[in-house]
Structure 1
Amino acid sequence: MLASFQFPAFPRANATATTRPRISAVLCSASCSSPPTNKRFNFPLPTRRAALLLASSLTSSLLQFLPQCQFAKAVETDEPQEEDERVVRIFQEASPAVVYIKYLEVQSRAGKNKESKFINDSVKGEDEEDLGDAKVESTGSGFVWDKAGHIVTNYHVVAKLATDTSGLHHCRVGSNGRTFVREGRLVGFDPAYDLAVLKVDIERDKLRPALIGTSQDLRVGQNCFAIGNPYGYEHTLTTGVVSGLRREIPSPNGRAIRGAIQTDAAINAGNSGGPLIDSYGHVIGVNTATFTRKGSGVSSGVNFAIPIDAVVRIIPSLIVNGTDIKDRSGISSKYEKDQRQVGNVLNG
């Protein structure tokens, strides 16, 4: 049954035809032989003066209303610009703390042909050792933890350094605009949380540590931003929202990382180790994985970050104590079939 709506402001007309007032008598043309009287309807006849006053009043009301309409339209036009400026400001404040990481394998220290010179010039920092014929094996991201030169990244980005006994594996850490490019020394790592700490020797004034936030009070739907170096494109910003909380993803040693943050901010190969930040520019997670369908190699928009609260618990211990040598054995980099690491990208 359809609902019945009543509108008290509009009284119902009398259904009896004989008692209905003849409104048409008031609206007769100027040629009517006898104009209607005031007594019948109790409506005073409008005079020309009253009509002019009414028209003037309506015009004044409209003129007062028009500027309000124009002002409201201007506000709507400015809103996207204000939002754009806010995102630009977030990136400008947060990006100086983000670094790129290039994992190198030295082929020969003696070989210095034209090709190796090009490679070395592109990865060797000021006052650094010439690594000879070094090949860029993979790239990833990280962010500055403190003024002492500690860099946080994913373990799977620098995993080969953890088991290297040949001395042929090296890591380059660089900032945006090549403010610095330095050798990254592995300080400690935790495969169970896919975290690692590198150390670069550099002047403190060239380092800008990231602002560390909290993941405790995150809410699904709030804005978030990922900064990293996907496919080698340095300092790339992607935007999205927190899509889910308390997710579970596999770690490089096969254990589950619990409490992961899910986001639709694009995370691609090379983003691993970079920060996931909130609308205040605070780091709320470390980008680590993306969900892909088997054989597609394309991100489905389901991406994951290690919550920053877990990072804050682990990193200080790695800086102070490093990683015990016994923890370096039995490390597995096997991920589930439909998940993949997003730090390792072959050059070319």
Structure 2
Amino acid sequence: MFFISEHPQSCVRRTLIFTIYLFTLAWLLVGVVCINTPPATFWPAGFIAMTLPAPLLLNLGFLFYWLFGKSVRVLIPVAVLFLAWGFYKRGFAINLFPAKASADDKTLTVLSYNVRIFNLYEHLRVDGFEISIEEINWVKNYPADIFCLQEFYNEPGHNIYNSVEKIWKGNAKYAFVSKSLVNHVGGQFGLAIFSKYPIVNKGSIKFGKLTQNHAMFADLKIHEDTIRVYNFHLQSMSIEEKEIVESYSGESQERMMRVKQLSRRLKKGFLKRSAQVDTLVAHFQACPYPVIIGCDLNDTPYSYTYDKFDGLLNNAFTKAGNGFGATYNGKLPFLRIDNQFYSDDFKVTDFKLHTEVPYSDHFPVSATYVLKRK
């Protein structure tokens, strides 16, 4: 009797590849656990959770490797793809056939946009005031029913930055500005909600005295219904693009010092957003109305911050968007930090990422909703 044995080198290679895949699975599981772990309890969880896209991509790589190699082991990454599909959709959404509104449905379009104080400071408007004027006009002319604006600035009486007057008051609409700071000329920094529907109740949610970040809400009367709209801007990383680039240059000692500085800022951001999101979730859970949220999370979809919202509400991008949905207008790729969430009382029929709008370091996002009939 004759038989052909597998070449020892081939056997070793297959064993090594499968061992690497087992490490990938372990990395994936640890990342999922860390996403659900408050950084205030275990701060390294924030850093580990950020790496979750890596094992998700590696799982796809092993899937194709074993698929083309016609190995039965391909069933393992296929199963992982199925089980972790929700995490894949956080980074790349596919919605070829989103929900549709019927002919008699009343739709509601919401725009969320970090306007970067309308480029108030001189270093943000290198070409003069033109960029500020164009940005305010774009917001004014966009056909939304509700606007949630972060890093908002309004200076009453100014011929350019009297943004409340320019955007809404002349159109007899409703506006609520939640101020975090007022400067020496009366300029108001903070958040704003504008609505074509009456605001019947409103309020601000503070995150403590040591931060200007906060949240706001407005209850809107829409025909016979009342809904609540939240708008918030969570703790920033306070990191510039050039600092990340510089961390890869210079002598090894200098690089290490820069990496440590960046890590400390990231850690601080994780801790502050962890407390802020817990405050907000408690507020959402006590709300008696259908909820829509427009926000700048300052965190990726692979974070404790995002996961807390995603576990309680639906995300408009994952339900109706397509592609990567990166909302950061800069050199760092694939950063989706601006979001809209909504309660089960709504269905989302459309989601748009406005990459054609260049005025801020964030792209605006809009979504169209239908309030489900009870």
Q: Which has the higher contact order (CA 8 A, sep 6+)?
A: 2
TM-score bracket relative to the smaller structure: under 0.3
Which structure is higher in helix share?
2
Normalised to the residue count of structure 2, the TM-score between the two structures is 0.24
Normalised to the residue count of structure 1, the TM-score between the two structures is 0.25
Which structure is higher in strand share?
1
